[in-house]
Amino acid sequence: MPTTLPPPPAPPASPARPAATAGGAQVTFAVRPAVTGWLVARRNEGATPDQICAQLVAAGWDADAAGRTALLSLRASDRHRLLYIAQCWGAGLAALGAGTAAHLALEDGGGQLAVAWYLTVMLVAAPIAVGTGVWARRVEDTEPHAIWSPTRRTLFATLAACTATVGIVRLLTYLFLVMAAMVGAEGYELTPSSLVQVMVTLGLAVPLFWWSLVEWRRSNVALRLLARPPASAGTGEPGSVASAG
């Protein structure tokens, strides 16, 4: 396996072509065969894409081209897909089950079987979310490449978006009921359960949204480091991406 840095990619062959497109094509098709062995060697040594990108920039590569090339060092298959699927789905279903069961229990005429069903969903999903969360944290501490998982980034972004949407819709719905009761609209009455409904929504949606947003940001910041290598790039020993979150 080669151990020296590959040369910088050649400039675009045709100046008439856009620089970004030509540079991307040059890196993808012309330079990749020459650097594949080096990328494999660095990946096997445990180097993460941000470290590889910093070394390529220090060797004279363009930052964008170095970032795209550094991502080629990742394994073709996402080894942590099932772990993050279980974690995010478990957390989402647990919150959904707990919130829906609480709302049904507070409503007049809420079906007992429906409450029992959603409580069952919560009791099954919550341990899965907690267990996989602990496992995922251990994996990320021992294997820095886990933070680069595309499944991780996509699922946490989706969970944050869904939680925010559901929380806002429920909050607006119950606030409307409270406001309608306060202005004396016919058929609407202000009861203590209305306030509890709002508190249930906020108590579940806000923590879940914040947690999923922070976890998404950890992966997203890791990717953004490829376009903006750390200041230590010139030394060839950039800091670990685990601290980027």
Top-ranked range on mean pLDDT: pick from 28-37, 100-109, 111-120: 111-120
Which one of 100-104, 125-129, 144-148, 225-229 scores highest in mean pLDDT? 125-129
Same structural domain for residues 107 and 205? yes
Q: Which of 46-55, 115-124, 193-202 has the highest mean pLDDT?
A: 115-124
Same domain, 85 and 187: yes
Q: Which of 74, 89, 107 is the last residue of a domain?
A: 74
Q: Are residues 67 and 165 in the same domain?
A: no
| Mean pLDDT score of the chain | 76
Residue 213 neighbours by CB under 8 Å, 6+ apart: 156, 160
Q: Is 242 a member of any domain?
A: no
Predicted pLDDT at 68: 80
Specify whether 45 is located in the same domain as 144. no
Say if 5 falls within a structural domain: no
Helices marked H in 150-240: 150-182, 192-227
**How many independent structural domains does the chain possess?**
2
Same domain membership, residue 195 and residue 88: yes
Whether residues 45 and 100 share a domain: the answer is no
Q: What is the pLDDT of residue 237?
A: 40
Tell me the residue range of the domain where 62 lies. Answer: 19-74
194 and 97 belong to one structural domain: yes
> Is the same domain home to 144 and 115?
yes
Q: Can you give the pLDDT at residue 58? A: 79
Determine, yes or no, domain membership for 245. Answer: no
Task: Flag whether 243 is in a domain.
Answer: no
- Give the residue carrying structure tokens 């990742």: 74
Supply the pLDDT for residue 240.
38
Tell me the one-letter amino acid at 168: I
Residues 27 and 67 in one domain: yes
What angle (nearest 5°) sits at the alpha carbon of residue 139, between those of residues 133 and 145? 120
Q: Is residue 239 part of a domain?
A: no
Give helix then strand counts, H and E, for the chain.
Answer: 8, 0
> For the residues 181-187, what does the mean pLDDT come to?
78
34 and 103 housed in the same domain? no
Which tens digit of pLDDT belongs to each residue from 149-179?
Answer: 888 989 999 999 999 998 888 888 877 887 8
Q: Is the pLDDT of residue 186 over 70?
A: yes
- Final residue belonging to a domain, choices 10, 42, 74: 74
Instruction: Note whether residue 131 is domain-resident.
Output: yes
23 within domain boundaries? yes
Confidence band (pLDDT; 50, 70, 90) for 90?
A: very high
- 29-35: average pLDDT: 51
Q: Which of 7-11, 99-103, 202-206, 237-241 has the lowest mean pLDDT?
A: 237-241
Is residue 61 located within the same domain as residue 105? no
pLDDT, position 194: 72
DSSP line for 93-106: HHHHHHHHHHHHHH
pTM, full prediction: 0.71
Residue 15 has pLDDT above 80, yes or no: no
- Asked if pLDDT for residue 67 goes beyond 70, the answer is yes
Same domain? For 136 and 209 the reply is yes
Indicate whether 170 belongs to any domain.
yes
The mean pLDDT of 90-99, rounded to a whole number, is: 94
Position 125: which residue type? A
Give the separation between CA 121 and CA 116, rounded to whole angstroms. 9
